[in-house]
Structure 1
């Protein structure tokens, strides 16, 4: 057995020397060196002409390495080992098969197989390309590589490129690779592939304040938000309430207004309109306007004016209904917009600039506490004052000056809500205060003696409130 092992090692050594002398894996006597991209051994499929290097790391002898070329029959031939069919296998699969055969002879060795130089192969590309024809490309070429060689016409489809491979057709949305770097939209090309680039299909125009205006091909069912994303999104100067879609319907032009703020930042999906072939999406430039929207009685767009406007009342210049003075306060704008609706938040009014919330204003602190700093923010053209839906509320009943439902913010405590409700009446009992709270549909009653808080300063009874709490302040018994 030992003698057989020595014979095999000698045979492999001679084979590697013979291989080097024959010049396989060389060009003009110089070894080919691969300078291309990194390949994925799980995806690279071996074929005729590929050159692989086999390393045999022996337990006691020096390691052996040699190059072999995949033959026209799709096999590699090793001394003392049967021909191994590798064409059509991935490099990982071929490594497994080669190792399996060699380990029969060298059970304590380690076999490594690597690709030294990928083969060239012929493919065809036709359709809306600048230079259609047959190309000889490396076996690690992807669709993107071939398209760069052939060039695309402006009329080419990027969304429905077809790779015809034997008896099947693979449809590729190449735009997803160009825009998002989706590697699944840039598949490897195989020997004999016919790539067909059809004419652009359904398309829409995107004009105005997007990062990449132009014509975009669409697929059935794609919506406004999809295409705005394709165009790189809105610029900081986009008018979020002035956008519209022009559409030809039965030979007549139809203009559809779109609320881009609601589309981008709201939860209402009705603005995300399904697009049709030929639509033009227009995003205008915002001017010196501030928007008050959300849960207010009269959402409005206000023009910022310096000083007084030219409107006159009693011979004196004054502000128009849709005008605001430079430096106007948030509370003034809310008032001009008809006030906050019953289901709107008065405590989390957002000032949004360039898509970011730059401040949240608590009107309770402004109007009840008189905290002028709370709304100290200079509005600039394009700012949005947004009144969101109220999220958390508690109800306070009994001997309190202003019983009712109050909005709370995270972390607020029972003393905070008592202050909001104007404090206790003279008949209030602080000893038997209760909080009714529901936890997983089970009612829990929390009893509090608030004399410990108000007389002794014991903060342990100043518990945090939760959404839906009902606080009852009982009457003092005589």
Structure 2
């Protein structure tokens, strides 16, 4: 039961975590943060929006009055939200933005002075205390500068759980007003309205990820998104980075459950006819935006190897043939091998061969001869290779070999193999220059002859054109690129092993003889 609990827990956790890059928050390595401790947040930006920032107790202003002489003041807002300027009076700044607070202070100065210029700025920012709870690692109180935004808490890397829902963050202010914020839209689209300044006494609740919608297909960031009440199809697509250039926009499919949550049905959307803003999403909706197969489909082939101009070339479907591309590539280099040239076709789905997969699981000693032959043939098969006789095509003009090319074909012209390779038990294994009319024995002689442990009766030749293994005595003509393999005669077992096995066999024979004699005697 305990094991089952851990398995289920890990499965649920995997399903409820969202792998967005915006969630990969790492603690900021900042000297101010390290000195301040875990429950203090340094704002990510020192800039202030004077239309958003609400002044409060602890904020300090710098006021310069420039007339015949300059007079400066540095008043601080007290705990009753009043600010007092000596000799001028007091102003209450409760619930005032920085912009409106500056206007009130300027009015106070202008009322007391005539024909002066003023300069008013916020010189010191107060600290505030807030509470954070929900799907966080360390719920509790936090101390922040008053110009900190919601994203500063989340992106600090100290609080967010992987299961947290950052699209439905609930902030309750000290006056009991509540607002929800979608922080992902700030991270993706820079919407400051979804990333407010934190105020004194705010209670921040980050829910656990539960309700969701799935967006698949041709958008910049497909995946699973937290469900937001009242969100439209247009909203979720913009949050996902918008359509990609190959999106099919005339048949967006929304698969959703009925009101009882038991039966699914589909609705189809055309952005030319339907208002995406007016289509509201529901929990567990699955939105499919398919790729338009007629857009940006490249008809390109790749020519490699010994041609004059290797590289990519454009083709026309059912028009461009193999010889056309060879001409465009400038023709063949004199060292190009027609025997080893190949044409590969990109097969999107490789055919599954159950018989080959079965045989692969069988040890070699347990295979039948037919199974082993089939296994070798399949193992030698070159995936995607088309059978084209380049010699007949380019030297004999056989038009039957001049195939139509398809997109993503690859044509390769390797260098000529003017050598024969000899490996195994010879004195000097390696590559030997190909000589017309030379036999296997001639090449073994050029390689210094057989090694002292060579199994000279089992020499094999691997044909370069087919990969087939042939007994040396059955080879009439060698070709460039062929491989001669001289196997090793395995060493005899050590004397002690032979001696021990012989004793075991003799002991077993003696036991059988003794048992037989005993039976005969007992019968008499």
TM-score, normalised with respect to structure 1 = 0.46
Bigger relative contact order, structure 1 or 2 (CA pairs below 8 A, ≥6 apart): 2
The structure with the greater share of residues assigned to strand is: 1
The structure with the greater share of residues assigned to helix is: 2
